[in-house]
Structure 1
Amino acid sequence: MCISAWIWQAHPSYPFLLVLNRDEYHERPTMTAEWWGDGTQKILGGRDVQAGGTWLGCTRNGRLAFLTNVLEPDPFPDAKSRGALPVKFLECEKSPLEFAEEVAGEADKYNGFNLVLADLCSKTMVYVSNRPKGEPASIKLVPPGLHVLSNAGLDSPWHKALRLGKGFKELLYKYDAEEEIPARELVKQLMCDRVKAERDRLPNTGCDSDWEWNLSSIFVEVDTKRGRYGTRSTAVVAARPSGDVEFYEAYLEMGVWKDHTIRYQIESLHQ
């Protein structure tokens, strides 16, 4: 399902700083973050081997996209893969707003999604979602500040979103404005939180209440009839004013947690 939090154009050392947990069935084949793609711009991110898309990706020309699914009962079995949306954006030359408008025109072909599109060079970020069901897709410019996205709309006050937003804000205050925030510290302090919501504070999504409860923590781990489901990776993307970007990923491989870091420079930031 995924959950993410980020600060956007509101920190002197980080024009963009993102933390994101990816939740998925452990049996679903996945590639860890690396450079891939056939377009003019290679994509950096993990990859869903089954459908070919991604939940988080970025490029050397300053584009970035990530998504979460919307928690809802009875998803449409023949819907198009939501993971293709970030890939399509990263491979095209449309602005975030232009691409969001394109997605809105075909939003009914997908199950519920929240999609964030950003251009770090133009300092533009757009949020698009095809829920609530039956209503036109919503498109919003994301203002500067700290934002959280779980499995409802942007900045919805779900238990896990409130906890992550509060924790992120507190952690930022622990560091001086010019001080580097270690990616491992962000993961350890924020993204491993297993505290679930109280039963009477669960959202009313129409899903089974036990399922909602098991998904109500920031870090998810639950056994199902299909197998183990939960948090399989955590990513931190940190962009500096200089255009230096650090992509850190902690990931589960054969029951063992591993991590790695990939760094690159945004090519067109100062052109």
Structure 2
Amino acid sequence: MKFHHRPTEALHWWEDGKILGGRDVTAGGTWLASNRQGRVAFVTNVRELTSLSAVFAKSRGDLPVRFLQTHKTPLEFAEEIAKEADQYNGFNLLIADLSSMNMVYVTNRPKHGSCYVTSVPPGIHVLSNASLDTPWPKAQRLEHGFRDSLNQYGDGELPVNEMVDKLMGNTIKDDHSKLPQIYPPEFEYQLSSVFVDAVSVKGRYGTRSTSALAVKASGEVFFYEKHLENDVWIEHTETYLIEKNEK
């Protein structure tokens, strides 16, 4: 989610042809991206009242880019980021190497300490603007909806674009008693749905794109995005094969 007035670029291969994802024009980073080597990274902000000034804080969107540009393992990169975590506002970062089936989660807003790094076990996980798998109601709705889709299609191929519309387009909001109680209640209520279209003193804020990345056992990757451009939703899909690491 971003303010609608903040300029972004839709899903595309970046100029050097090595990174696939959307891009934040203001800071140059991304929220979700991948590369041909089977690496994937995405970041979310942590909902909090206080933050570092933009003058002093490093851009969180640069974290996925740095991972995609390095040859370090997810754990090695996570440990590197942990050493500079205090230079960023609150973030959740998930980084994965699909070739080695290895995923790591990093956050600089853990319950205890200044940074938390852990491997992510196989299974279904949901990440919003709190720690990984925090049971916010909208996160639970998303998880339950995803499980229902898996049960519905079984071993068949999942219709990615239909799933994105169904799961990420959910506008159900929470009862005020179930809100995290971090922001003012009126604004937090607007943020309590999976799909967000909110108004704040800084302008229109909410969902400007939804994405899905699916990988077949053959190594074929499907990266789907639906983004808002001039109040019109535009769909785009990129496909590619993960390149084998030749040693």
State the AA in 1 paired with 2:204.
R
Given candidates 159, 164, 167, the residue that maps to 2:145 is 167
Given candidates 1, 21, 24, the residue that maps to 1:48 is 24
CA contact (8 A) 1:56 1:67 kept: yes
**1:255 corresponds to which residue?**
231
Tell me whether 1:185 sits opposite 2:162 in the alignment.
Answer: yes
**1:88 corresponds to which residue?**
66
**2:175 corresponds to which residue?**
198
CA contact (8 A) 2:57 2:87 kept: yes
Q: Which runs of 5+ in 2 are unaligned?
A: none
Aligned-pair CA distance for 1:223: 1.6
State the AA in 2 paired with 1:30.
T
Distance across 2 between alignment mates of 1:269 and 1:118: 15
Tell me whether 1:152 sits opposite 2:130 in the alignment.
Answer: yes
CA contact (8 A) 1:127 1:139 kept: yes
CA contact (8 A) 2:43 2:91 kept: yes
Alignment deviations for residues 112-155 of structure 1 (CA, whole Å, 9 cap, x no partner):
00000000001100000000387221011000000000010000
CA contact (8 A) 2:187 2:200 kept: no
Given candidates 184, 193, 199, the residue that maps to 1:223 is 199
Give the TM-score, by structure 1 length.
Answer: 0.87
The alignment's C-alpha RMSD in Å is 1.5
Larger relative contact order (Cα-Cα within 8 Å, sequence gap ≥ 6): 1
CA contact (8 A) 1:95 1:119 kept: yes
Distance across 1 between alignment mates of 2:207 and 2:218: 32
Aligned-pair CA distance for 1:225: 2.2
Alignment deviations for residues 177-215 of structure 1 (CA, whole Å, 9 cap, x no partner):
1x111111111210000111110011133x222222111
Given candidates 71, 76, 80, the residue that maps to 1:102 is 80
Given candidates 76, 82, 93, the residue that maps to 1:115 is 93
State the AA in 2 paired with 1:61.
Q
Q: Which secondary structure state, in structure 2, belongs to the residue aligned with residue 98 of structure 1?
A: helix
Q: Which secondary structure state, in structure 1, belongs to the residue aligned with residue 126 of structure 2?
A: strand
The structure with the greater share of residues assigned to strand is: 1
State the AA in 2 paired with 1:189.
K
Alignment deviations for residues 213-238 of structure 1 (CA, whole Å, 9 cap, x no partner):
11111000012222211100000100
Q: Which runs of 5+ in 1 are unaligned?
A: 1-22
**2:120 corresponds to which residue?**
142
Aligned-pair CA distance for 1:254: 0.5
CA contact (8 A) 1:62 1:269 kept: no
Give the TM-score, by structure 2 length.
Answer: 0.96
User: Which stretch of structure 1 is more off in the superposition, 122-131 or 133-142?
Assistant: 133-142
Percent identity between matched residues is 53
Q: Which secondary structure state, in structure 2, belongs to the residue aligned with residue 145 of structure 1?
A: coil
Distance across 2 between alignment mates of 1:134 and 1:72: 16
**1:7 corresponds to which residue?**
none
Distance across 1 between alignment mates of 2:147 and 2:154: 13
Query: Structure 1 residues 237, 198: CA separation in 2 closer, same or farther (over 3 Å shift)?
Result: same
Given candidates 114, 129, 141, the residue that maps to 2:107 is 129
State the AA in 1 paired with 2:118.
K
**1:3 corresponds to which residue?**
none
